[in-house]
Structure 1
Amino acid sequence: MVYDRFVPEVIWRRIRPDAIYVWFNDEVRRRLKWYYMVMNDEAPAKFLLARAVDAGENPSKLDDENLWQLKRRLHAELEKLRKEALEGSLTLEVYEREFRDKPEYSLLHLDVEAARRLANPCRLCERRCMIDRSRRIGACRIDNKTYVHSWFHHLGEEPPLVPSGTIFYGGCNFTCVYCQNYDISQVMPRAGEVVDAKRLAQMQRELRIYGARNINHVGGEPTPNIPTIVESLLYLDVNVPHIWNSNMYMTLEAMEILIDFVDLWLPDFKYGDDKCALRLSAVPRYFEIVTRNIRIAVEHGDMIIRHLVLPNHIECCSKPIMQWISENLPVDRILVNIMDQYRPENLVAKYPRRWRDIARRVHLEEVEEVKAYADKLGILYEPVS
């Protein structure tokens, strides 16, 4: 195995032992096969494959209908290439030799153009605020610029991801009363470094060449920044898997863009009850939208689902989520991280009487109850916890 080939000694000395030994687990290797191959430069990342699919014409000259029709047709070609890579016939070495001459306009160029159009008026997330974010702040609390608050080698993520090249974007389309990153998502989302696509590509390149196993797009929420993120992949010149670390509240149109470059999905599956989602995050139609997007995502890359156990929300949220996963997803191809890190933050810390049900840390017994229920349903979670 070559899972450590990119990790410099200065980082390797600090890496958690489980981030090393997780790759000796055959189930993890099997369930995260695509991510593992790209991480180790055995296969080209999806964004590189998308750059090799010839669009044949300038996407800016296409009307919306023809743009999306062409994009969907070319996505099928991308999937054929990914299948070849999964089977081992299209290695990174073969890709670099056979696709040395890139097309003038590729599938990725179509994605860039589609993302720009979705962003004005904004229909990137299911709030569909329809705001021209070049003139006004959207429902995500940011304008049309991309704000990066920090980017670094994260050593605290799930073992298969560490060290993770994490990029924290400002802004979020949720208003979670317990948000642990509320400073960048709700309070000062536009206080980060303003980056364009080339600068963002430079950040990703440096993270990779100095030891990152992946590029981890997170926040806040990365969805409002899809146009800049997709465009940055036109300039990125290193092979690296891309992770979408998200609340998964994006539109179907945004999903059609994401499936062209996301290698591993890291959905944050919060609520099993829409009433809880509306009260705690001010999000309507939560369960319908998030489950729809997770169904799509699992067919277009590897997946680790995150579920943060909330105190007093076992019956209404945690168990229904586990039940839905077991009945609707291929549980033999995904991993689930049942998380016990909840602590009362943000508005819950300020006004605990208003949110009495979650105004304390989660009890160990609650977490163990959720894990026991997941075990009963055949859901694998331990290798990533």
Structure 2
Amino acid sequence: MLLFERFVPERLWRRLRPDAVAVWSDPEVRRRLSWYYRVMRDEAPAKFMIARSVEVDEDPWRLDYEGLQDLKKSARRVFESLLREARRGELTLEALRKEFRSKPRYTLLHVDAVLAWRLANPCRLCERRCMIDRSRRIGACRLDSRVYVHSWFHHLGEEAPLVPSGTIFYGGCNFTCVYCQNHDVSQTAARRGEAINARKLAWIQKMLRVHGARNINHVGGEPTPSLPVIVESLLHLDVNVPQIWNSNMYMTPEALDILVDIVDLWLPDFKYGNDRCAMRLSAVPRYFEVVTRNLRAAVEWADMIIRHLVLPSHVECCSIPVLRWIAENLPRDRVLVNIMDQYRPEHLVARYPRRWPEIARTPTREEIERVYEYARRLGLVFEPVS
């Protein structure tokens, strides 16, 4: 069953989250989220609208994977040129609509949609690469080939620049976090949402936007297993709205190469500073290698707010290495960090605390302050978006 929660009127969210307005007076936030800000205000076209304007001269459905890649390569050059114009303010939303009044039959966005479907069967959308035909069997993400939406609503609990966020919760996840606060959606009841198609998903996004959402926030669970339908939905979406990818960033390079054409703001969750903790708490191999690879690539294409949840007893092994890697490997003047202090024992940890005793409690104030102080020493900007 698809859960629907009513839209939040502007007068109410402004009263409940005054920081969502005040945050834009911070020059660092305005500078680091400049692209997202302009798309949010309809001053610039969202990237999916640019991709949907780049014409290709062949039917993507008739090509094999290699042919699709060749077609995309030539279309990507045009896309990048238009994107540069939009970033410089030379290609506005109004100008794009006038220039491309007649819709091309096939576009770069069509190519991306077909590529996403090809990657999904056998499935290699995420780095588990389970290679399962999800139309016949359940994949490692606990999903079949359908997309399950559990809820969609105006979210007031996100980072201030995002509120109210048009959040869509997709079922399924490629992680098995023992402390997951959203385990019903991601793990135990992943396929109990409403199975929807691309047109219905486009309608949901439109309703969220026209009723006041600043963005569309694809989350879960994890949105990556639902990528084919998400990309296809953008072929039907007729309103301008920034697309946010709220993800564990464990996608394959092939999936990421599709996402960079549509994502206006990355909202990655950077959990662990080493593979041992990732395997023990989320059953994820090669975590640090995959996530850092994807963060390096993603930041070149869109604005980014990195989330890091402080786990009790994991400051030295996870929080410190995560923050140090961000400071040493990503452009400091383009990334915001949200250090999150709201961990609480949930799911399996709450049921079997003796199996994970070090995280069977909330973080202490000393642990949180230690992480905050380290972030300040590194020069990371994290406080304005909390």
Segment drifting more, 66-75 vs 100-109: 66-75
Q: How far has the Cα of 1:13 moved from its partner? A: 4.9
Aligned residues: 380
1:15·1:163 contact (CA, 8 Å) conserved in 2? no
- Kindly tell me: are residues 94 and 372 of structure 1, through their superposed partners in 2, closer, same or farther at Cα, counting changes over 3 Å? same
Post-superposition Cα deviations, 1:44-78, rounded to whole Å, max 9, x if no partner, equal 00000000001111011112112112213322321
Q: How far has the Cα of 1:7 moved from its partner? A: 8.0
Q: Which residue in the other structure is 2:3 paired with? A: none
2:242·2:265 contact (CA, 8 Å) conserved in 1? yes
For 2:265, the aligned partner's letter is L
1:208-223 correspondence to structure 2 within 5 Å: 208-223=209-224
Q: How far has the Cα of 1:15 moved from its partner? A: 3.8
Q: Which residue in the other structure is 2:240 paired with? A: 239
- Kindly tell me: are residues 30 and 13 of structure 1, through their superposed partners in 2, closer, same or farther at Cα, counting changes over 3 Å? closer
Q: Which residue in the other structure is 2:154 paired with? A: 153
Q: Which residue in the other structure is 2:289 paired with? A: 288
For 1:280, the aligned partner's letter is L
Are 2:166 and 1:181 aligned? no
1:21-36 correspondence to structure 2 within 5 Å: 21-36=22-37
Segment drifting more, 90-99 vs 143-152: 90-99
Q: Which residue in the other structure is 2:341 paired with? A: 340
Structure 2 spans left out of the alignment, 5+ residues: 1-6
Post-superposition Cα deviations, 1:303-323, rounded to whole Å, max 9, x if no partner, equal 000000000001110000111
Segment drifting more, 91-100 vs 200-209: 91-100
For 2:171, the aligned partner's letter is G
1: distance between equivalents of 2:311 and 2:78? 42
Q: How far has the Cα of 1:123 moved from its partner? A: 0.4
2: distance between equivalents of 1:59 and 1:11? 45
For 1:147, the aligned partner's letter is Y
Post-superposition Cα deviations, 1:85-119, rounded to whole Å, max 9, x if no partner, equal 11111011111111111211000000010001000
| TM-score relative to the length of structure 1 | 0.97
Instruction: Calculate the aligned-residue CA RMSD, in Å.
Output: 1.1
For 1:148, the aligned partner's letter is V
Q: Which residue in the other structure is 1:3 paired with? A: none
Q: Which residue in the other structure is 1:353 paired with? A: 354
Q: Which residue in the other structure is 1:133 paired with? A: 134
Q: Which residue in the other structure is 2:193 paired with? A: 192
Q: Which residue in the other structure is 2:276 paired with? A: 275
Q: How far has the Cα of 1:80 moved from its partner? A: 1.5
- Kindly tell me: are residues 15 and 81 of structure 1, through their superposed partners in 2, closer, same or farther at Cα, counting changes over 3 Å? farther
Q: Which residue in the other structure is 1:370 paired with? A: 371
Are 2:151 and 1:162 aligned? no
Q: How far has the Cα of 1:293 moved from its partner? A: 0.5
SS where residue 129 of structure 1 aligns?
coil
Q: Which residue in the other structure is 1:78 paired with? A: 79
SS where residue 165 of structure 1 aligns?
strand
Post-superposition Cα deviations, 1:337-383, rounded to whole Å, max 9, x if no partner, equal 00001000000000001001100001111111111111111110011
- Kindly tell me: are residues 282 and 380 of structure 1, through their superposed partners in 2, closer, same or farther at Cα, counting changes over 3 Å? same
Post-superposition Cα deviations, 1:137-173, rounded to whole Å, max 9, x if no partner, equal 0000010000000000000000000000000000000
1: distance between equivalents of 2:82 and 2:129? 33
For 1:316, the aligned partner's letter is C
Q: Which runs of 4+ in 1 moved over 2 A?
A: 6-15
For 2:341, the aligned partner's letter is D
2: distance between equivalents of 1:286 and 1:316? 14
Q: How far has the Cα of 1:12 moved from its partner? A: 3.8
SS where residue 105 of structure 1 aligns?
coil
2:14·2:20 contact (CA, 8 Å) conserved in 1? no
2:14·2:21 contact (CA, 8 Å) conserved in 1? no
1: distance between equivalents of 2:83 and 2:57? 20
Work out the percentage of aligned pairs sharing the same amino acid: 70
Q: Which residue in the other structure is 1:323 paired with? A: 324
2: distance between equivalents of 1:7 and 1:83? 34
SS where residue 52 of structure 1 aligns?
coil
For 1:285, the aligned partner's letter is R
1: distance between equivalents of 2:337 and 2:10? 30
Segment drifting more, 35-44 vs 61-70: 61-70
Q: Which residue in the other structure is 2:39 paired with? A: 38
SS where residue 104 of structure 1 aligns?
coil
Q: How far has the Cα of 1:14 moved from its partner? A: 4.5
1: distance between equivalents of 2:15 and 2:175? 34
Post-superposition Cα deviations, 1:254-299, rounded to whole Å, max 9, x if no partner, equal 0011001000000000000100000000000000000000111100
2: distance between equivalents of 1:268 and 1:214? 18
| TM-score relative to the length of structure 2 | 0.97
1:142·1:171 contact (CA, 8 Å) conserved in 2? yes
For 1:59, the aligned partner's letter is P
1: distance between equivalents of 2:241 and 2:138? 32
Q: Which residue in the other structure is 1:90 paired with? A: 91
Q: Which residue in the other structure is 2:4 paired with? A: none
Are 2:268 and 1:257 aligned? no
Q: How far has the Cα of 1:221 moved from its partner? A: 0.4
For 2:286, the aligned partner's letter is R
Segment drifting more, 7-16 vs 75-84: 7-16
1:15·1:162 contact (CA, 8 Å) conserved in 2? no
SS where residue 245 of structure 1 aligns?
strand
1: distance between equivalents of 2:39 and 2:22? 19
